[in-house]
Structure 1
Amino acid sequence: MDANIAMCELRERKQQSYNAVCSDFAINHNMEELAKRIGVSGTMLRNKLNPEQPHVLSPVDLALLCKESNDYTIINTLLGDLGLVTAAVPVEEQSRNFVERVLEHSNLTGQLSGNVLALYKESRYPRSQKRKTLAIAQAALGNLVLLISDLENRTTGMSPLLSMGVDFIANGAPLPGLA
């Protein structure tokens, strides 16, 4: 019996969070432009994001909407209470080198620290500021994913073996037949 009560409380809290994030999403984005890009009418998209309407945002529409807007707050809100964190991996930033990634991470964590420092004494955390802080944290996670990927690519395959071999020879290792 208690499990059913707890499930209903989770459902109600999650539904309220979902409704709030959908409303914020509709306010923060151009619905007509996004609707064209995902293949639905602007009115239908607004109705799907409006909790007062009977229309429901399907998972496929949600995925398309998040991808086209590059705003994953709805998905992050849904997954947040489950203990899951998503990280958007920016495709266009694959060309950055290792040092640039580390510096970008320092920049994003500094912004995050500044936001937290400015708001830690506040009794109420405004929803708009919460969304901005979460966006910075998500960008930092995406950057970390790319940093990890870069490190993995540098330390797998033949590259490390060749690199170690060059370092070994360059540092004065004797070569058979030449020593």
Structure 2
Amino acid sequence: MKNRSLQQTPHLAAISIKAAELQGKKAGVRFIQKLQELLFIEDKDISDINVIQQCAQSVGLDLNEFLQDVYSETAAKAFQCDLKISSEMEVDEMPSMVFFNEKIEDEGIKITGLYSYDIYVQILTEMLQGYPKPAEKPPLEVFLSLNPVNATQDLALIFDVSPQKVERQMKKLQIQQKVQKIASLHGSYWRYKYNNL
């Protein structure tokens, strides 16, 4: 039986992420990306069950299964588990990151606030007792297919190029009808168009 009071809770978005993850990790990632798009670009209320349903449907989740899971004990317990872990780690500010190494007995290192990329590299270098080898960056279109909505500044940071160079590359893709520029209250973004539709 659906818990109707859950439709009004601010935690509904977080619980819905857990419900989406029950359909697989990739499904969960697609769901949270679309949820962020709805919040930041379309300025939608992601605590509204109708918006959440729209999000689930648009990323191809089994809608009936998803809705059952949203109101299930499984999703609620997974969310409670996340809250418990956050509490145990004293994560009470955003953003916060907790780094762990392979040794279970070692404590994690919590970093609260925004820092430059170099600080995170330094932390990882100390934890790994050696410089972490960065993964190769994928081609731009491959990255966009996995992360379909991006700001120019974010792409410039990720690919270590100037925002002007990113704008030129994205305009070329726009001419090829592979991306669309979207204006929002929070600035402009680029949306990758799957199958160039």
Give the structure-2-normalised TM-score: 0.21
Higher strand share: 2
Structure 1 or 2: more helix by fraction? 1
Structure number, greater radius of gyration: 1
